[in-house]
């Protein structure tokens, strides 16, 4: 009897262990908004103060799509599980490698995938396009595996494509093992890199269209099926246009939200919240806080203005020994033309003060540094705009003649250096 009870307890533990591994509430459809109107007003009011928001989620980030900067966060560079937000990368790999019109026959492996499901069965037929909607709206793990097998032949080969893409995007703290995100110790990302990945995904028109869809009808075996988006903020908060929810016991409640108001376009990532309500409230708090605190600044305009003023004063002070012409300077490429910030960027310019002719066109002679607070936003090269040739003998005789005629004069620059004006 005692042995029988022990066996039963072991079986129960195994069953509960499996439930733990595959726990995922993404199929839960709420009949009512998860955040009440009164709570929304309280969050908006709190954001108007200078107090930083109180956040339940263990890791989070506010990412500016204009500049690629993390404006605000907590442990945003710490590796962590990300649950079904994994499917953002899954969608990228599928869209970039498959035809949306391809018809997929569901395998036994895909049909048997646990966690949140689209409800696919072995030998079902469905297009890649409809599988993508099932992946991103309903968060179907079965859809993820079906797409992985169709794209790469197996989940393992698909994961290789995911990691190759992550490397190309510079995601150094991200690694994928599965296309769905069920818990695995080697499957992880960071809040910042997840935001960066999402920014890339949203540049794809197909993905952007899917993640902003609140509800749609897909077709399985020529039969229609209505599915709804699990993103609780989509359609319930101003400016929200995507993107993906997630949950496993290890990752906690996760939510990646894209939101745009006026010219400020942000991605909010919350990872490791305790409840669906917490992740929604945390996201709202961070969104409202961001739009109260930050503003978009035209960095390129500030750079050009400051550089123009600097040139008027300093360009002629750069001495070129044996020069046959005047120095003209220009800036290299500005990669961050605009950014959301709570501080006005400052400009710091450093250049050589002495050069030897000839000076080639394009030669770098200095750097313009853009800072926001203590953060270096960008370093831009200062280059020679046109070649400055070395003086020949004829030029020296010409200069001497002009000095005697009073047309030009010698200016003492100090330290045994002179210039002509």
Q: What is each CA distance from 416 to 317, 324, 413, 420, in whole angstroms?
A: 14, 19, 7, 14
Task: Answer yes or no: are the C-beta atoms of 248 and 24 closer than 8 Å.
Answer: yes
Catalytic residue among 84, 91, 116, 258: 84
CA distance 127 to 225: 13
User: Can 139 be counted among the known catalytic residues?
Assistant: yes
Residue 39: how many other CB atoms lie within 10 Å: 15
Q: Confirm whether 84 is a catalytic residue.
A: yes
Catalytic residue among 67, 91, 116, 139: 139
Residue 213 CA from chain centroid, whole number: 21
**Catalytic position from the list 57, 67, 87, 116:** 87
Collapsing DSSP to helix, strand or coil, 186 comes out as coil
CA dihedral 210, 213, 216, 222 (to 10 degrees): 0
**160: Cβ–Cβ under 8 A, 6 or more apart, which residues?**
152
Cα 366 to its chain centre, rounded Å, is 30
Active site residue 277: no
Q: Computed from CA positions of residues 44, 49, 50, 53, in that sequence, does the dihedral angle turn out positive or negative? A: negative
DSSP state of 362: T
Contact predicate 124/221, CB 8 Å:
yes
What's the alpha-carbon Rg for the chain, to the nearest Å?
30
* Residues with catalytic function: 84, 87, 139
């Amino acid at each position: 009897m005692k042995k029988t009870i022990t066996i039963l307890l072991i079986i129960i533990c195994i069953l509960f262990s499996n439930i733990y591994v595959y726990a995922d509430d993404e199929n839960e459809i709420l009949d009512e908004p998860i955040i009440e109107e009164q709570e929304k007003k309280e969050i908006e009011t709190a954001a108007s103060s200078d107090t930083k928001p109180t956040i339940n989620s263990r890791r989070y980030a506010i990412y500016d799509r204009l500049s690629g900067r993390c404006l605000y966060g907590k442990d945003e560079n710490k590796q962590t599980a990300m649950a079904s937000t994994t499917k953002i990368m899954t969608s990228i790999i599928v869209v970039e490698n498959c035809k949306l019109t391809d018809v997929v026959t569901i395998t036994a492996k895909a049909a048997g995938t646990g966690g949140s499901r689209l409800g696919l069965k072995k030998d079902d037929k469905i297009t890649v396009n409809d599988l993508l909607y099932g992946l991103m709206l309903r968060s179907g793990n079965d859809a993820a595996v079906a797409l992985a097998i169709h794209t790469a032949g197996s989940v393992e080969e698909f994961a290789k494509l995911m990691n190759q893409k992550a490397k190309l995007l510079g995601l150094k703290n991200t690694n994928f093992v599965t296309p769905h995100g069920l818990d695995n110790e080697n499957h992880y990302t960071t809040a910042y890199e997840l935001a960066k990945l999402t920014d890339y995904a949203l540049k794809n028109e197909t993905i952007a269209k899917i993640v902003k869809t609140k509800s749609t009808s897909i077709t399985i075996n020529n039969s229609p099926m209505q599915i709804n988006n699990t993103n609780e903020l989509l359609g319930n908060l101003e400016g929200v246009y995507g993107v993906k929810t997630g949950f496993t016991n290890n990752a906690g409640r996760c939510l990646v939200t894209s939101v745009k108001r006026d010219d400020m376009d942000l991605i909010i990532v919350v990872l490791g919240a305790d409840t669906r309500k917490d992740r929604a409230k945390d996201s709202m708090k961070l969104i409202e806080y961001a739009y109260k605190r930050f503003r978009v600044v035209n960095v390129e305009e500030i750079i050009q203005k400051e550089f123009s003023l600097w040139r008027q004063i300093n360009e002629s002070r750069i001495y070129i020994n044996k020069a046959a012409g005047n120095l003209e300077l220009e800036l290299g490429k500005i990669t961050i033309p605009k950014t959301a910030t709570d501080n006005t960027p400052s400009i710091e310019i450093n250049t050589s003060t002495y050069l030897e002719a000839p000076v080639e066109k394009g030669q770098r002679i200095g750097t313009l540094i853009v800072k926001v607070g203590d953060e270096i936003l960008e370093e831009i090269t200062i280059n020679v705009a046109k070649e400055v040739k070395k003086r020949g003998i004829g030029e020296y005789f010409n200069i001497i003649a002009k000095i005697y005629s009073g047309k030009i004069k010698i200016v003492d620059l100090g330290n045994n250096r002179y210039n002509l004006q």
